[in-house]
């Protein structure tokens, strides 16, 4: 068993079976989630015999940082090497009140849910080499812990002279939008999110957690019936079947009509606003004629639209529209009175697209071993 995939209830049941007092499970989880220790020996308020028993029964693994990219105080990309040698990415983004949460001096963390992806969206680096496997619950949870540990270590070394302690935590919001289709790894993801949401775990409110999907209709309905109030983002990228099918094969299985009905069901159940992610790709979905069906969908679902100019992916033919084209697309939507934002940051270097850092690292490693 892996300790970072255990809920308080599950661990309590195991420890009760060992004859341990009821407060022990809380102590263990406090070491893992509040203190973020990586060794059983560090749990100094547990009897040695219990630490040994826990070590024999549970794996306490941590993600290995393979690479980090980006400057402090801006978007940072972390590339993790998993136990089987696979790579996944997490991205730490300075808070942007216009996006997924409220104004904050904290950060949003974007996490991955699969190694590779089976959905093959034509513009995406993550799906280029297909799907390898689902991440385990603990591998999703550990992206948060590992980023927090990294941030605390950095803050400690920056404040070494003053001795000022690191902030308790830096991640306030979570978006499930990294490598993989989150809802295709539904059970592991939902368990990870319960742990991340729990007061004894990550302590991040469900309303500060956004799950993104390319449009898996049955799972959207299932999520709608889950009692936790997660936010939902749809990677739309086209407001008609004709446009969406050009770039998203998933649309053939779940066309827009079905997707919209599932979103309506989600809203009826949750009463929450949905976000449409719309990557603007030159000559594919950025014509101003696309704004009328997009605005109509957004109005029908009371959705907010997040426009994202395409980040170039090495080996793919797609281009980013000009700034003027992006601004014109935004203006056309605003004229139709739908809430809409345009990501304007300039840092769209070659590795900015999701999955790019992993792909480049894999290629470099392969070249070195030749
Ligand atoms: S955009 Fe998302 S669903 Fe589509 S291939 Fe990439 S990771 Fe998979």
Query: Is the pTM here over 0.85, yes or no?
Result: yes
Q: Which residues, including other chains, have CB under 8 Å from residue 329's CB and lie 6 or more apart?
A: 280, 286, 288, 290, 291, 307, 321, 342
Which residue, by CA, sits nearest to atom 3 of ligand 1?
181
Kindly report, residue by residue over 75-92, the tens digit of the pLDDT. Answer: 889 999 999 999 999 999
Of 117, 121, 340, 354, the active-site residue reads: 354
- Which of 110, 118, 121, 129 to mutate for ligand 1's pocket (most ligand atoms within 8 Å of CB)? 121
pLDDT at res. 345: 67
Distance from the alpha carbon of residue 122 to the mean position of ligand 1, in angstroms? 9
The closest alpha carbon to 232, from 260, 202, 257, 251, belongs to 260
**Interior CA angle at 254 toward 253 and 259, to 5°?**
175
Distance from the alpha carbon of residue 15 to the mean position of ligand 1, in angstroms? 40
Name the CATH topology of 64-369. TIM Barrel (3.20.20)
pLDDT at res. 35: 95
Residues within 6 Å of ligand 1 by CB: 117, 119-121, 124, 126-127, 179-181, 214, 235
Give CA–CA dist 5/337, Å, rounded.
Answer: 44
- The residue ranking higher by pLDDT, 304 or 128, is 304
Which residue, by CA, sits nearest to atom 7 of ligand 1?
180
Q: b vs e for 160-191, b when ≥16 Cβ sit within 10 Å of the residue's Cβ?
A: eeeeeebeebbbbbbbbbbbbbbbbbbebbbb
Give the CA diameter of the chain. Answer: 69
- For the domain covering 3-57, report its CATH number: 1.10.150.530
Kindly report, residue by residue over 190-242, the tens digit of the pLDDT. Answer: 999 999 999 999 999 999 999 999 999 999 999 999 999 999 999 999 999 99
Give CA–CA dist 197/219, Å, rounded.
Answer: 20
Distance from the alpha carbon of residue 222 to the mean position of ligand 1, in angstroms? 20
Kindly report, residue by residue over 308-349, the tens digit of the pLDDT. Answer: 999 888 888 999 999 999 999 999 999 999 999 998 865 445
Atom of ligand 1 nearest to the CA of 248: 4
Distance from the alpha carbon of residue 354 to the mean position of ligand 1, in angstroms? 9
Share of the chain above pLDDT 90, in %: 77
Give the CA count within 13 Å in the CB-facing half-sphere of 67: 17
247 confidence band (pLDDT: 50, 70, 90): very high
Q: Where are the domains of the chain?
A: 3-57, 64-369
100 confidence band (pLDDT: 50, 70, 90): low
Query: Would you say residue 297 has pLDDT above 80?
Result: yes
Of 89, 139, 277, 290, the active-site residue reads: 89
Distance from the alpha carbon of residue 179 to the mean position of ligand 1, in angstroms? 7
pLDDT at res. 350: 41
Q: Give me the chain's average pLDDT, please.
A: 91
Which residue, by CA, sits nearest to atom 4 of ligand 1?
121
Atom of ligand 1 nearest to the CA of 213: 3
- The residue ranking higher by pLDDT, 271 or 225, is 225
pLDDT at res. 370: 62
CA 137, distance to chain mean position in Å, is 13
> Catalytic annotation on 89?
yes
- Check: CB of residue 183 under 8 Å from CB of residue 223: yes
Atom of ligand 1 nearest to the CA of 178: 7
Kindly report, residue by residue over 124-177, the tens digit of the pLDDT. Answer: 988 788 999 999 999 999 999 999 999 988 888 888 888 888 888 899 999 999
> Catalytic annotation on 354?
yes
Sign of CA dihedral 7, 10, 16, 22: positive
């Amino acid at each position: 068993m892996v300790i970072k995939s255990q809920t308080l209830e599950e661990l309590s049941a195991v420890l009760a079976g060992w004859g341990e007092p009821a407060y022990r499970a809380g102590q263990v989880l406090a070491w893992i989630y509040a203190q973020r220790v990586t060794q059983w020996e560090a749990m100094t308020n547990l009897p040695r015999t219990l630490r040994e028993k826990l070590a024999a029964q549970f794996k306490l693994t941590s993600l290995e940082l393979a690479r980090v990219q980006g400057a402090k105080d801006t978007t940072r990309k972390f590339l993790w090497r998993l136990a089987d040698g696979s790579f996944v990415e997490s991205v730490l983004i300075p808070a942007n009140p216009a996006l997924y949460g409220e104004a904050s001096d904290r950060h949003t963390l974007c996490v991955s849910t699969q190694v590779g992806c089976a959905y093959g969206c034509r513009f995406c680096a993550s799906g280029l080499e297909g799907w390898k496997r689902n991440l385990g619950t603990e591998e999703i949870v550990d992206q948060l812990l590992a980023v927090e540990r990294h941030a605390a270590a950095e803050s400690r070394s920056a404040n070494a002279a003053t001795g000022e302690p690191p902030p308790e935590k830096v991640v306030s919001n979570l978006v499930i939008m990294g490598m993989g289709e989150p809802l295709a790894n539904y059970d592991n993801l939902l368990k990870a999110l319960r742990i991340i949401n729990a007061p004894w775990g990550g302590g991040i409110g469900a309303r500060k957690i956004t799950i993104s999907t390319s449009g898996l209709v049955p799972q959207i309905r299932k999520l709608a019936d889950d009692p936790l109030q997660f936010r939902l983002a749809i990677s739309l990228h086209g407001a008609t079947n004709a446009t969406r099918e050009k770039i998203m094969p998933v649309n053939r299985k779940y066309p827009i009509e079905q997707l919209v009905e599932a979103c309506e069901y989600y809203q009826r159940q949750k009463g929450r606003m949905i976000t449409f992610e719309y990557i603007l790709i030159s000559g594919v979905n950025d014509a101003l004629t696309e704004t009328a069906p997009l605005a109509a969908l957004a109005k029908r679902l009371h959705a907010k639209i997040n426009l994202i100019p395409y980040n170039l992916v090495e080996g793919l033919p797609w281009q980013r529209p000009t700034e003027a084209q992006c601004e014109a697309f935004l203006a056309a939507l605003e004229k139709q009175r739908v809430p809409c934002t345009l990501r304007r940051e300039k840092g769209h270097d070659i590795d900015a697209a999701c999955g790019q850092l992993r792909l480049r690292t894999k290629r470099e490693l392969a070249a070195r071993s030749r």
